[in-house]
Amino acid sequence: MSIDILKKQIKENKLQNVYLFYGAEEYLIKYYINAIQKLTVNEENSELNFITYEGKIDEESIIASCETLPIFSEKKLVIVKNSGLFKSKKGDAAGSSSKKTGNDKLSDYLKNMPSYTCLIMVEAEADKRLKLYKTISSAGLVVEFPFQKPMVLVKWVIKAFESHNKKIDQLTASYLVENSDYSMTELLNEIDKIVNYVGEKPQITMNDIESVCSKSIKSKIFDLTDAISGGDVSKALNLLNDMAALKEPMQKILFMIIRQIRMLYRIKLLKQKGVSEEMVKKQLGLTPYVAEKVMKISKGLSLSILEKAMSYSLELDESIKTGKITDRVAVELLIAAMGQ
């Protein structure tokens, strides 16, 4: 994986001249930029040899910044964020052009960059078909930083609390993770709030998290399906009303309910085949908190109800697309059907 190559390069101080970092996990992007900065730029000369651009920029300016010699240093670092150079223009075939464009100039330049410059380009998204992407992939290193997998985040959260001399068990840590959008930046903010809230108390509990953090839509969907599995359709509809009052998009709620139905169906099938709960957790990659919730919910819903719910959800989707019903009505009908 490219992330492992990056770690090795930083550890051995053998950096590429050009990098492309892209993806949703901004925390990791900042982390690795800082690591590279420490290797390339002296603190006393950082203002002279550390250049950052944000937003649209012409390729000639990037080239000029890379060409300028470092001052009182062997290296210089150039960061270009959200340039828009890694998005295809509408109507153009990715990576193709009938004439020499600035993008072509930059691509050609990156193949023979001066050894004293390290260029890092940072984007939220990048089109892999573009010539510039392919050039960096061959002449340098491209690293994607997606949101991390839940269990990776659980381990990271435990370590983050340890750095504050706090303890948190795996189940409680996974509850915090599942109450987030899997963003490490968001999780760090929540961890700081929890640490400040508990004061000198060494052990973090679920009550601490519930006292400080807002429930995510994922947790609310668990509560909703839990109510359905317990035969309490009225409670499920009240929870839906609460989510609507908080302006949660109905389309998103419907999607998440359907996704959970499919997960529950897979669990029921695996358990029917004699697969142990521990193996089910591993096969589906569930965090302890999610595993505990879905195992409990699955016991209250039969395989036939879940099969009917999946089939009915397809009918509802068609009715939404044809304008026969709204997303809100579709969610209510699905809840009612599952509660029968």
Instruction: Encode pLDDT of 240-286 as tens digits.
Output: 999 999 888 999 999 999 999 999 999 999 999 999 988 998 888 88
Torsion, Cα 321 326 330 331, to 10 degrees, reads: 130
**Percent above pLDDT 90 for the chain:** 74
Q: Could you tell me which residues come within 8 angstroms of residue 244 by beta carbon, excluding any fewer than 6 positions away?
A: 250, 328
Residue 97 confidence class, pLDDT cut points 50, 70, 90: very low
Question: Tokens standing for 230?
Answer: 């317990």
* Domain coordinates in residue numbering, the chain: 2-144, 150-212, 217-338
200 by Cβ neighbours in 10 Å (0-12 / 13-18 / 19+) ranks as exposed
The top-level CATH class assigned to 217-338 is mainly alpha
Mean of pLDDT values over 139-146: 97
C-beta separation of 76 from 160 below 8 A: no
Task: Tell me the CATH number for domain 150-212.
Answer: 1.10.8.60
Reference 3, options 115, 146, 204; nearest CA is: 146
What CATH architecture applies to the domain 2-144?
A: 3-Layer(aba) Sandwich (3.40)
Is it the case that residue 29 has pLDDT exceeding 60?
yes
Q: Say how far apart CA 233 and CA 239 lie, in whole Å.
A: 10
Is it the case that residue 91 has pLDDT exceeding 70?
no
Share the mean pLDDT of the chain.
91
Residues in the chain: 340
